[in-house]
Chain A
Amino acid sequence: MSKHDTQHSPEPVASGLWQPEPEHPDSIGLRTLGFWLYMMSDAMIFAGLFAAHGVYLRAYGGSDITAAEVIDPAKGLIPTLLLFTSVLAFGLASVALKNDDRSRMLRWMGASWILGLAFLGEEVWEFSGLAGEDAVPQASAFLSDFWTIVWVHGAHVAVGLIWMAAMLVQIAREGYTEATVGRFLNLRIFWFFQAVIWVFVYTFVYLMGVS
């Protein structure tokens, strides 16, 4: 740590011009900000899809399959419950993180993962039933939209599940580090976000679809 002048800078250096040790930005906070920004753009994707949904609400074309025939809000409650329990389990996993209890956290995250997988399974089962009744996305614009909006959400759940599986392995192996905790917090944002989206899907597609 020395102070030196060269021919190039004959003036004495004024203090307060440089700060050799930069303020370290809080790394987890920085990651979270970026992830929130990404979530904002993802939210715009759903905004676009829901705008489209408004347009295709009754766009049956020549098809005689109506919304009332394919959408059953009561049936939709089962995946809703599965997904919400999964989110709850994930919340309990973050509580365990706060209490620094790794095994409990892993168990809750595992539970969340299984519930998420059950949600996807339920969706697959429900939609294969629809396909059996010829209510396929090719039948009308309404059905195209119905399948797309539910399955874009489903794709988010699938991505979340892959991520969560990797997270489970990583936290089991490496414990709590700045990287794993930051990633876990982002996953929490993502998992809660897709649940919020499901609330919208359930409200706008399932409840309003048949009203």
Chain B
Amino acid sequence: MFMDLQGPWNPLLGRLPMLLNLKYTNPFIAAAFAMVVIGGIVVVVALTYYRRWGWLWREWLTTVDHKKIGIMYLIVGLVMLFRGFFDAFMIRTHQAIAVGASSPGFLSADHGYLPPFHFDEVFTAHGTIMILLAVTPMLVGFMNLIVPIQIGARDMAYPFLNAVGLWLTAVAAVLVMVSLFVGDFSHAGWVGLTPLTELANSPTVGVDYWLWLIQISSIGTTVGAVNIIATILKMRAPGMTLMRMPIFSWTALATNIVGLTSFPVLTVALFLLTLDRYIGTHFFTADGGGNFMMYTNLFWIWGHPEVYFVVLPAFGMISEIVPTFSQKPLFNHKAMIVATMAIAGVAWSVWLHHFFIMGSGPVVNSFFSISTMLVGIPTGVKVFNWAFTMVRGRVRLETPMLWALAAVLLLIGGGMTGMMVAIPAINYVTHNSVFVVAHFHNMFLIIAFALFGAVTFWWPKAFGFRLDERLGRIFFWLFWGGSVFVFVPMYALGFLGMTRRLAYISHPSWWPLLLLEVVGIGLYIASLAAFVLQLVVSIRDREKNRVRGPDAWGTSRSLEWATHCPPPFYNFAATPVVHSYDEWAWRRERNLVSLVPDYYADIHMPKNSMVPLVLAFFVGVFGFAAVWRIWWLAGLALVGVIASLIFRMFQKDVDYTVSAEEVERIERAHLAEMADEDTEAAHRSADVASNARPLTQ
């Protein structure tokens, strides 16, 4: 309908008849399909066998508790991280084989084992998944999990919307997984530059999957951004002025302001491209008066702020971890806040540095180059302030600190190469080379390191026990080794002139370096195995690693440590009154670490709701129908979306009250349990106790 489509289309099934011509013989796709199916069956059987369906529905699928939503965001992010990682593994191994005209070819590829059709799909999926469905959900997950506790709130400002955001993100993840088996994914790079993504040049449904999953996940992100900003502005505990707000919440505020204002620009760019592909408008075509550089501009007006959208919370995590393990307050924390806001502010005036080579004049290029370099100043300030936080501190190198320190060192390297490629004279020779790829992976590794640091750091807060330290270290060193072996050769290859996204490498002298990268990817695989093992072992030994009391590390500083591990569903039995920037450290120094308030009061909490899940289901159906151009189904799904919203509007009974007696009972039970463990297992907790040294001597 509307368009000159290649392949079959009929009103009932849309383009789905195209599936009859697909080849499912590729062993990678078959293996991935088998994995997904077997995994799904195992989960379903396990849930049925242990009779956990009701539990899953009540406790997780319909929950509006920000902590559980945060954890589910993290699970979605981690699963997609593994998927994106598998794509990376295929890119690296393929490129290591497809070198030189006489290199061997397998599975209908002339060289390597991925024909261009699949190779292009794999790197596109890798980029899209890693940025939008792995890193972003994990960061949003942490913001969900930590920010309300850190500012002393009972929940997010809009718990219902919070669940909507989660399930939209999950639906986007489902769509990308569906594209593996039903049709294909985009072949045009995660940036999807026009006119390559126009229907004439990308005739399959791949680009449509890419379009709709980004649109859906960015609605989720926008909803989340509204929620977190409103939570931070309105729900802070009494006494917590903005200048007393912990730095992670500050970065969450900054990042969501960036997100809220930049994601709509992406929405516009993709919407116009959607119109081009679906009804044949001429926004980004070369003919008909179209202007495809407009897409490039719009995309990067979102794309570069997006970079800061993901890196700022990572900076916030590092800023929480370094003081805790240096046993000192964050150095010059006001300057850190200023630096955070400065980075967020400059984010808007740098986008053109992604295409200096389009033929723009030296004046324009210089402007965008200099504003890009300005970002380096507040970033440098952050590095120095982290270093000065350690100065005159007492640095304990526990796993979270290990990750954070490595992230700081990576930031120095990535910052330097970033400044280099921001300079037009250098950019003209490094643009789109793997040097740039190594640079932005270096920057994303900062986020990955900060995230894994945060996982270790906040795990006891979320689950009440610490992760296994020894396996954590093994995980860290393997991951570090993988990073070095993959990205140092990649930087070198960039200087040798290797371009990104090559399905075939014509230059055989690069082969040794490409093989080194395969060593790196091997280390990465081992590191992820160590991570999974760490999780399994830690969950098995959870009694041994149980955290007693609110403070898992003994030297924690901000407010999230002023409640139980894990926090009860209402977070704080009574709202804390904040006296200092480092409230928990302030209380510890004054020996005011009791969690028992003067008296208890009733607590109002939101009720669970199945509407977010149903709503997201309809959105997912809409996305699928739109991809395959099944218009009747898309229309029905849209009606479903509107109906669920109206249904929610007419729901009256949306919250409930926990009585003061009930709160007291829960609190007493918890404290009694802690006290029991105190006497029973004092010897077991020697390591925890040794960490809890007094702050001042």
Chain B residues, CB < 8 A from A145: 283
Chain A residues, CB < 8 A from B674: 8
Stretch at the interface among A19-27, A104-112, A191-199: A19-27
| Contact B600–A1 (Cβ < 8 Å) | yes
Chain A residues, CB < 8 A from B642: 162
Stretch at the interface among A31-39, A79-87, A122-130: A31-39
Chain B residues, CB < 8 A from A15: 598
Verify if B29 is at the interface (C-beta below 8 Å from A). no
Residues facing A in B659-691 (CB within 8 A) are 660, 664, 668, 671-672, 674-675, 678
| Contact A41–B222 (Cβ < 8 Å) | yes
Chain B residues, CB < 8 A from A1: 599-601, 660
| Contact A40–B281 (Cβ < 8 Å) | no
* B interface footprint on A1-30 (CB within 8 Å = 1, 0 otherwise): 111111111010111111111110100011
B649 CB contact (under 8 Å) in A41, A140, A183: A183
| Contact B294–A13 (Cβ < 8 Å) | no
B140 to chain A, nearest CB (A): 16
Chain A residues, CB < 8 A from B229: 37
Inter-chain CA distance A19–B573, complex, in Å, is: 9
| Contact B597–A11 (Cβ < 8 Å) | no
Chain B residues, CB < 8 A from A144: 275-276, 281-283, 288, 290
Verify if B157 is at the interface (C-beta below 8 Å from A). yes
| Contact B226–A37 (Cβ < 8 Å) | yes
Verify if B568 is at the interface (C-beta below 8 Å from A). no
Verify if A63 is at the interface (C-beta below 8 Å from B). yes
Stretch at the interface among B54-62, B121-129, B230-238, B393-401: B230-238
| Contact B157–A30 (Cβ < 8 Å) | yes
Inter-chain CA distance A101–B165, complex, in Å, is: 37
Chain A contact residue count (CB 8 A cutoff): 61
A158 to chain B, nearest CB (A): 11
A30 to chain B, nearest CB (A): 5
B226 CB contact (under 8 Å) in A4, A38, A148: A38
Residues facing A in B173-223 (CB within 8 A) are 222
Chain B residues, CB < 8 A from A63: 288-289
Closest to A43 in B: B264
| Contact B226–A56 (Cβ < 8 Å) | no
Known contacts A19-B575, A62-B287: A33-B233 contact under CB 8 Å: yes
| Contact B275–A170 (Cβ < 8 Å) | no
Closest to B583 in A: A17
* A interface footprint on B641-668 (CB within 8 Å = 1, 0 otherwise): 0100010011010000000100010001
Chain A residues, CB < 8 A from B269: 48
Verify if B476 is at the interface (C-beta below 8 Å from A). no
Verify if B107 is at the interface (C-beta below 8 Å from A). no
Most buried by A among B287, B573, B576, B594: B594
Residues facing B in A40-72 (CB within 8 A) are 40-42, 44-45, 47-49, 51-52, 55-56, 59-63
Most buried by B among A9, A51, A140: A9
Inter-chain CA distance A5–B598, complex, in Å, is: 10
| Contact B272–A41 (Cβ < 8 Å) | no
| Contact A18–B268 (Cβ < 8 Å) | no
Verify if A137 is at the interface (C-beta below 8 Å from B). yes
| Contact B283–A141 (Cβ < 8 Å) | yes
| Contact A138–B280 (Cβ < 8 Å) | yes
| Contact B596–A44 (Cβ < 8 Å) | no
Chain A residues, CB < 8 A from B513: none
| Contact B291–A11 (Cβ < 8 Å) | no
B581 to chain A, nearest CB (A): 16
| Contact A141–B592 (Cβ < 8 Å) | no
Residues facing A in B575-590 (CB within 8 A) are 575-577, 587, 590
A182 to chain B, nearest CB (A): 11
Known contacts A138-B280, A170-B649: A52-B298 contact under CB 8 Å: yes
Verify if B25 is at the interface (C-beta below 8 Å from A). no
Closest to A152 in B: B271
Inter-chain CA distance A35–B69, complex, in Å, is: 22
Verify if B574 is at the interface (C-beta below 8 Å from A). yes
Known contacts A7-B675, A8-B678, A140-B288: A41-B283 contact under CB 8 Å: no
Verify if A166 is at the interface (C-beta below 8 Å from B). yes
Verify if A142 is at the interface (C-beta below 8 Å from B). yes
A62 to chain B, nearest CB (A): 7
Inter-chain CA distance A174–B587, complex, in Å, is: 48
A9 CB contact (under 8 Å) in B261, B595, B650: B595
Inter-chain CA distance A52–B296, complex, in Å, is: 12
Inter-chain CA distance A83–B239, complex, in Å, is: 46
Selected A-B contacts with CB under 8 Å, 8 pairs? A1-B601, A8-B549, A8-B674, A25-B234, A34-B226, A42-B264, A59-B291, A140-B282
12 further A-B contacts with Cβ under 8 Å, apart from A17-B587, A20-B597, are: A3-B599, A18-B574, A19-B577, A20-B599, A21-B601, A38-B222, A38-B226, A45-B268, A56-B291, A61-B287, A63-B288, A144-B290
Q: Spell out B's residues near A (CB within 8 Å).
A: 154, 157-158, 161, 222, 225-227, 229-230, 233-235, 237-238, 260-265, 267-269, 272, 275-276, 279-283, 285, 287-291, 294, 298, 301, 549, 572-577, 587, 590-601, 642, 646, 649-650, 652, 660, 664, 668, 671-672, 674-675, 678
Of all A-B residue pairs in the complex, the 8 with the closest CB atoms, nearest first, are A61-B289, A9-B594, A48-B268, A59-B289, A144-B281, A141-B289, A18-B597, A44-B264
